[in-house]
Structure formats: C-alpha cells, structure tokens
Chain A
Amino acid sequence: MSFLECRSISKSYDGKHALRDVSFRIEGGDLLSVVGPSGSGKTTLLRIIDGLEKADSGEVFLKGKKISDAPFLHRKIIGMVFQNPVLFNTTVFNNVAYSLRFRREKDETIRKKVDEMLRLLRLYDLRDRRALTLSGGEAQRVALARALVYDPDLLLLDEPTANLDPYNVSIIEETLQKSNRERGTTVIMVTHNIFQAKRLARNVAFMLEGELVEIADSATFFESPKDPRTLSFIRGEMVY
C-alpha cells in the first residue's frame, strides 16, 4: 500500500484541460518535487490532493483510504503552503497557534510547540509582531510554520520560495529537509526551479499541459530522463 496514490485524475476549467489522467504513487517519507512550466497543472494537482478542488474524475488515496470524496476528514494530517500565503491580522505567534487551537490543543502545549517552530524557522524574535507587517520571506516562513506545527503526515507546498531572497530560501529548504528527515514528513513541492528540485528532492515529477510526463528518482530524472520532453525541459530548451 502506497502512502499516497492518485488514480487517473482529470480536471478541466471551461473546457480547457488542467489535468489529464494523472496517476502516480509515492511512499511515506518521500520528498517529491513536481516541476514543469506555468500552466502545466502542478498547482491544480496539489489543490486536488488537499481537497480544495474536486477532480472531474479520478481518485486520491492517502494511507489506503480514499480521501477525494471526503477531504475534510483527512485534512488534519495534511499541511498546505500556498505560493502567496494569507496571514491573519494578528501576531506571528497567533498565526502559528491557530493551527493548534483549531485542533483543541492545550495552551501550554500550544506555547511550547509554537515557540519551537518559530525558533526552527528563525522567527522567534518576531513572535509578537503583527503578521501583516512582515516581509514576503518572513510571511512565507510563518505560513510554513503554521503548516508544520501540527506535525502533518503530508506537506504540500506550492512554489514556496518563488520570488524570495537566498536567505529566506535557505531557511525554508533547510526546514523542509529537516522535517522530512527527522519527522518523516512526506513532502510534495511544486516548483518551476529545477535547481531547487535537484537540491532537495528524492523523486521528481515533470508535468506538461496537464499531463504527468515522467516521474523518477532524482538521479535518473536529471541524468537519464526517458521522455525527450523532460530532457528538453531540463536543458532549458523548452519554450513556454
């Protein structure tokens, strides 16, 4: 039984295909990067796994249970970080603490876990700052903190480091690797940055025009891809 399995997922908007018969499976503890040009369906795939969108057809299984029919029952073990996160108009501490308050954790546990997460993401000095006064990089780190603080089994990230400076990128990448390695969090990260995928991912998937072209372990994917379209994308020859 795979940790996560997507079976024949298709989705279209106004007659235009966003996803075409996408199937893949990953094991627990994996760090999968989904790469591909803009409009290739990467974000739609993440949103369907998180249950924010319903697929036109196909099914999603998490730990053997079908989650595509009732995502709200399983969302508690899934964390999601959006490309442009929306923070709540309160302190950094409260933004992260909300995730645990929603899960009815005790105040003492919340304080301990939130402080630990803020230290991990180097946000502790900002814990009492209004979240809406943060820079883009700091805001993205808060979004990652609130998705990780409840220790999800599956973490979904949609271009988490797009337009961020190297300092913020390094903190986010470091945290993802640490969480994946030490907590065993399964990570699916959408990115258009193949260098980042190469740095972080254990497995890499390439999507193009709603189709999953290829999925392979990182070494195979970058050194000997099977599909010529993957090779073209890796070489930067693909015009999009």
Chain B
Amino acid sequence: MEGFVRALQILFSGDHEILGITLLSLRVSLTATLLGAAFGIPIGFLVARRDFHGKSVVTTTINTLMGLPPVVVGLVVYLFLSASGPLGFLRLLYTPEAMIIAQMILTFPIVCGITISSVLSLSPKLKETLVSLSAPSSWEARVLLNESRLGLITALIAAFGAAISEVGAIMMVGGNLLGYTRALTTAIMLYTNMGEFATAIALGIILLLIAFGVNLFLTYLQMRSRIKRTT
C-alpha cells in the first residue's frame, strides 16, 4: 500500500524522466501499430479477396504469426541490425527506430490476420452487388473495407495492445537506454530488478492508463460503427 501511495506521488510529480519514458512508449507503439496497419490492411484485403494457389497456406502462416514471441522478433531484428548483420550499415540498433521495426513486425500479422477474417466474413452478395453496379476495383476495395470497419478497428485494438505491452523485443533492440530508448515496459522491468517498486508501480499505472485510453477511443469508434449497423 505504501508503495502504491508513493507511486501516485511519483505519478503526479511531473517527473521529466517518466514523462520522457511515457512519450517514447506512445511514439514507438502508435507508430508501429500504424505501420503494421499500413501494410497489414491492404495485404490482408488482397489475400482475402484474391483466389490464388497456396491461399490457405498463406492465411495459416499469417494466423500463426499472430502469436509470434516478441523475444524471437527481437533476436531476429537484432541479428539483422547488429554491426555484422545485413542491415548493420543503417546503424539502427539501440535506437527508437529499431524498436518501431521490431514492434511493427509483431503488429503486422495481427492486423493482417484480423483483416483477412473480417473481409472473408462479408456477405458474398455484397461483392455481387458491387459487380452488378459496375464498381471499379478501387471503389470495390474502398466499399468492402468500409463494410469491414468493425473488424479493422478490432485489429488496431489488438495490435496496439500487443505493442504497448511488449517488452522482450524492444529490450533487445532498444537496449533500455535512459533518455533515449527506455520505454514503460523496459523501465518497469529495470526498476523491479533494482527493488524500486514504487517507481515500477507508477510506470505500471501509466501503462495501464495509456492502454485503457487508446482502447477506449478505439472501442468508442467500434461501438459507434456497430450501433449504426444494428439500429
């Protein structure tokens, strides 16, 4: 209880270090989610709409990657970005950009997999109606994605949740450097190991509040869409 009170004191003290950690976490996870969506939604849409050889294998692979262990992603990204790795010349290891890349690899299959499932669950009559109305393919995609928006928002919620709560990958490729790559989750781990439980709890509360706030916003959008669909 004492630790919790101390945590609240830290929380409301306006500590610059904690503010920096919080902003970095938000920047990394939101960017990774948006990039994951930028690739995941169009690719998921194409996989769902097109008939091609090996479609079920591709879908199964994407679904499997939805449960990708963050430490494995961290390891792979580390190996690619390390000085002796194929992308070592980019000098991205231990930077926020490396953390974004690692989290984007985690969010991409989540967004892609849920997009595939949402688009596949649309009524086949919808596509037939669009064909009958002579919709050009660009409009067809736009209308079908709009019809799938409930599922797409679910994809964003799941992807952001996975990114903001993840610790293994960003610890490996970010290095948890104070004032540069220290995020909420890596900081919680560090302060817990150091026995500074009050600071760890304060950071934990911030993490929960961020996750709650972003999900509240996305859930609001989702509910708004659902209400319009059913009333």
Contacts and interface: CB of A to CB of B under 8 A. Distances in A.
B50 interface: no
Nearest to B128: A52
A86 B125 contact: yes
A146 B133 contact: yes
A88 B143 CA distance: 8
B212 interface: no
Contacts of A133: 231
Contacts of A84: 125
Contacts of B136: 102
Which of B123, B132, B225, B231 counts the most chain A CB atoms within 10 A? B132
A86 B147 CA distance: 12
Interface in A62-113: 72, 75-76, 80, 82, 84-86, 88-90, 98-99, 101-103
Contacts of B146: 88-90
Among all A-B residue pairs, the 3 with the closest Cβ atoms: A80-B132, A86-B125, A102-B135
Contact size class for A? 20 to 34
B231 A52 contact: no
Contacts of A98: 133, 135, 139, 143
A132 B147 contact: no
Contacts of B147: 88-89
B7 to A, nearest CB: 44
B53 interface: no
Contacts of B230: 132
A40 to B, nearest CB: 21
Given A82-B125, A98-B143, A89 B132 contact: no
B131 interface: yes
B135 A52 contact: no
B13 interface: no
A130 interface: yes
B126 interface: yes
A59 interface: no
